Structure 1
Amino acid sequence: MQDASNLMFRFAAPHDASAIRTIEFEAGQRFATVGMTGIADAPPMEVEIVNRKIAAQQIVVAVDAGETCVGFVMFEPQPTRFYVQELDVLTSHAGQRIGAALLEQVAQLARAHQVTQLTLSTFREVPWNAPYYRRLGFRDIEEAELDAALIARRDAHIARGLDESKRVFMRRDLA
């Protein structure tokens, strides 16, 4: 078993697109264990979306010594924060702090752009969602604190069929 210190982190390259989609699909399968079969059955992101995010340097991957991609984080830079869109690690590599290390890569990029906050939206009760992010220093954003951009994102989630009553926006302030 290896930990995150034995991995290399880099921006995703075009040849990583297939692995990213595979990791996303495999990670989604875990949702069947908490009764969220709609998410578990969902197809991975369209390859065009992945390629666009790769070209924009908005995906960081964790790769092992053999250059096998074992996790990724996809984010969207915004003027005052970086929004974490997705964080997935192969279940075979869970518990090795790879997700935490990927988030730290995004935090470093945000700091380099003088951005002092990471935000995300996730499921409140799924153990590897909100409880996990709280352990990594994120806090819940109360409804009254949501700005226009986060409200628009929530509306987009609802339009895609997500039950926002089971979700929470979270933020982590960067020192």
Structure 2
Amino acid sequence: MTELPTTGFVGDPPGVAESIVVRVASAGDLLAVPAVEEAADRLFRDRGVRDLPPAAPAAARAEAWRVLVAGRPVQGFAVLERVDGDAHLEQLSVHPAAMRQGIGAALLRASVSLAWAVGARRVSLLTYADVPWNAPWYARHGWRVTDDLGPGLRALAESAVERDLGRHGRRVAMVRPVRDPG
């Protein structure tokens, strides 16, 4: 089991729980991820988004570049891919019963730490601009909206358009440098 650092990042907001252990998912952890995703997706359903795809099965998550998890049993996870030589946060979900405890923030910090360890210059993501727990939340954790899209990130953004994800709200690309320029 590989634990990742989740503290000591310039610009991290104060008061975030630093005792949360984030680790690379084991095969057993991956089995728990779909239930966390399904529970987290209920928040979108509560906003009227009723046509979400089902949670990805554990086997599909095992194909990701890295899946990070927090909690025993798993309470949150982050799916990371390599895109344009950088790290890309494909998905981050926290079980609603475990929200507001710093798990999401710890997963973000671990994602940045992992990106730094492999020499990436930034972590990217695609998200909804106006959903409170999407772009506004990421912005509070150091991510900034960007139009600096490499070919891989541009292809992911175009795929989201093709899948009509914009029908649920405006989508944006966001990035966070792995080293804060300050």
Alignment of 1:90-109 (within 5 A): 90-109=95-114
Q: Are 1:22 and 2:35 an aligned pair?
A: yes
Q: Which residue of 2 aligns with 1:156?
A: 159
RMSD value, Cα: 1.8
Q: Per-residue displacement from partner, 1:3-31 (whole Å, max 9, x unpaired)?
A: 74443211101111221010011101100
* Paired residues, number: 163
Question: 1:69 is paired with a residue of what secondary structure?
Answer: coil
Q: Which residue of 1 aligns with 2:48?
A: 35
Deviation at 1:50, TM superposition (A): 1.6
Q: Per-residue displacement from partner, 1:108-164 (whole Å, max 9, x unpaired)?
A: 11111121201000001100000000000111113xx32322221112222333117
Give the counterpart of 1:137 among 132, 137, 142.
Answer: 142
Contact 1:80 1:117 in 2 (8 A): no
Kindly indicate which of the two structures has a greater share of residues assigned to helix. Answer: 1
Unaligned runs of 5+ residues in structure 2 are 1-15
Question: 1:154 is paired with a residue of what secondary structure?
Answer: helix
Unaligned runs of 5+ residues in structure 1 are none
Residues 162-171 or 21-30, more deviating: 162-171
Deviation at 1:73, TM superposition (A): 0.5
Question: 1:28 is paired with a residue of what secondary structure?
Answer: helix
Relative contact order, higher structure (CA 8 A, sep 6+): 2
Q: Which residue of 1 aligns with 2:60?
A: 49
TM-score by length of 1: 0.85
TM-score by length of 2: 0.82
